Amino acid sequence: MEAPQKNLALDLVRVTEAAALASARWLGKGNNDAGDGAAVDAMRLSFNSLNVAGHVIIGEGEKDHAPMLHNGEKVGTGRGPAIDVAVDPVEGTKLLAYGRPNAISVVGVAPAGTMYNPGPSFYMQKLVVGPAARDVIDIDAPVKENLQKIAKALGKDVDDLVVFVLDKPRHEKLIQRIRESGARIQLHTDGDVAGALMAVDPRSEVDVMMGTGGTPEGVLAACAIKGVGGQMLARLDPQSYPEKEALHDAGLDLREIHTVDTLVRSDEVFFAATGISGGTFLRGVQYTGVGAITHSVVIRGKTGTIRYIESYHNWDRLMKISSVKYD
C-alpha cells in the first residue's frame, strides 16, 4: 500500500487549458500558423511555471514547418522530477483553422529515459483498442479477422463496431476492407491522437482506430492508451523515399512491432488533453464574455484513473496574474 502521490496530470491540464484558450481565438479564421503559434506560446509559458525538469522528446511543428516546441527543448523550472515530454499544442491545426471538430491540445509525460524517440520517422501504422480487446489484436492479421476478434471481445457483432480512419488516399484499400467486413466507419480528415483517444474512451462510440498516422502522435497517444489499459500496436510506415532512407540511416527497424509498453516504458505516465474546436470527443472552448469554459480529460497511468474536468475561467481575475493574454 502507498500513500497518495502527486498527480502531475492535474498540473498538466493547466498547460493544455492555456494552449486551448489562446488558440481557440483563431477558430475558423483560416490561419494555421497563428492558432498554432498562440498555443505554443501559451503552453511554453505555462509549462515553465511547473517544478519539473522536462525534456521534449516529442515536439510539434517539425513535419509541417509550424511554430514549435522543438525536440530537445527544456521545459519547466528545472527543479523537481526529470521527465520526458510529448506535446502537441494544437493536434489538428487544419481542423482549428477551418472550424472543424476535434482539434485538441495535448501533453503526455513519463520519467526521463522511458519515452520512445521516433527520430526521423514521421509516419507509423497503428491499431488501437480499449482494455477489453487489448489481447486479441494482431497488426499483421487481415482486417476482417481483427474486427471479428475485437467484436467478440466487446460482446458485439462486427456490424456494431465503429472504426476511426483518417480520410487519406493511402487508406483506400483499408476502408474497402473494413466495409467488406460489415463494420461501420468514421472518416476524419485529421487528428489521429483524438482518434486513438476515442478508441479507448469508455464514453465514445468509436471501438477501434486503424491506419497510418503520425509517429510523434502515436507516442503521444500511447501515454493515454497505456494509462487506461488499452493497447496500440504500431510499426513505422514511411510515406516517402527520403523518410525511408532517413530511417535506414538511423538504424531503425521497419519490421519492429511497437506496443504501448515499448513506446512508454513506465507506468508513471501522465496525460492531459483539452478541447479546442469541440466535437465528439471533447467540447471546445466556449467564450462567455467574462471568461471561458473548457473541457479536458486527465489520466494517471499508475492508477488508471480518468478524470473529465469542466473549468470556468474568469478573465478579470486571471488577467491580473497571467502572462498569457487570453482575451
- Considering the domain architecture, whether residues 154 and 249 belong to the same structural domain is answered as yes
Please indicate, yes or no, whether the overall pTM of this predicted structure exceeds 0.95: no
- Considering the domain architecture, whether residues 197 and 250 belong to the same structural domain is answered as yes
Give the domain-ending residue among 219, 234, 261: 261
Domain interval for residue 63: 6-112+266-317
Q: 192: closest CA among 220, 169, 150?
A: 220
State residue 66's pLDDT score.
Answer: 46
Residue 323 domain flag: no
State residue 6's pLDDT score.
Answer: 75
- Considering the domain architecture, whether residues 283 and 226 belong to the same structural domain is answered as no
Give the domain-ending residue among 261, 280, 308: 261
- Considering the domain architecture, whether residues 158 and 225 belong to the same structural domain is answered as yes
State residue 3's pLDDT score.
Answer: 47
- Considering the domain architecture, whether residues 207 and 302 belong to the same structural domain is answered as no
- Considering the domain architecture, whether residues 144 and 24 belong to the same structural domain is answered as no
Give the domain-ending residue among 243, 261, 279: 261
- Considering the domain architecture, whether residues 257 and 134 belong to the same structural domain is answered as yes
What's the domain count of the chain? 2
3-state SS string over the chain? Answer: CCCCCCCCHHHHHHHHHHHHHHHHHHCCCCCHHHHHHHHHHHHHHHHCCCCCEEEEEECECCCCCCCCECCCCEECCCCCCEEEEEEEEEECHHHHHCCCCCCEEEEEEEECCCECCCCCCCEEEEEEECHHHCCCCCCCCCHHHHHHHHHHHHCCCHHHCEEEEECCHHHHHHHHHHHHHCCEEEEECCCHHHHHHHHHCCCCCCCEEEEEEEHHHHHHHHHHHHHHCCEEEEEECCCCHHHHHHHHHCCCCCCCCECHHHHECCCCCEEEEEECCCCCCCCCCEECCCEEEEEEEEEECCCCEEEEEEEEEEHHHHHHHCCCCCC
Residue 17 domain flag: yes
- Considering the domain architecture, whether residues 108 and 56 belong to the same structural domain is answered as yes
- Considering the domain architecture, whether residues 146 and 36 belong to the same structural domain is answered as no
Cα(77)–Cα(48) distance, integer angstroms: 6
Q: For the chain, first and last CA: distance in Å?
A: 46
CATH of the domain at 243: 3.40.190.90
Residue 67 domain flag: yes
State residue 321's pLDDT score.
Answer: 67
* Spatial contact of 208 and 150, defined as CB atoms under 8 Å apart: yes
Residue 326 domain flag: no
Residue 322 domain flag: no
Q: Which residues of the chain carry a pLDDT beneath 50? A: 1-4, 61, 63-67
Cβ neighbours around 67 below 10 Å, total? 21
CATH of the domain at 312: 3.30.540.10
Residue 292 domain flag: yes
State residue 271's pLDDT score.
Answer: 97
- Considering the domain architecture, whether residues 22 and 82 belong to the same structural domain is answered as yes
- Considering the domain architecture, whether residues 125 and 244 belong to the same structural domain is answered as yes
- Considering the domain architecture, whether residues 54 and 81 belong to the same structural domain is answered as yes
Residues 6+ apart with CB under 8 A from 198: 164, 204, 206, 209, 280, 281
Residue 129 domain flag: yes
Residue 324 domain flag: no
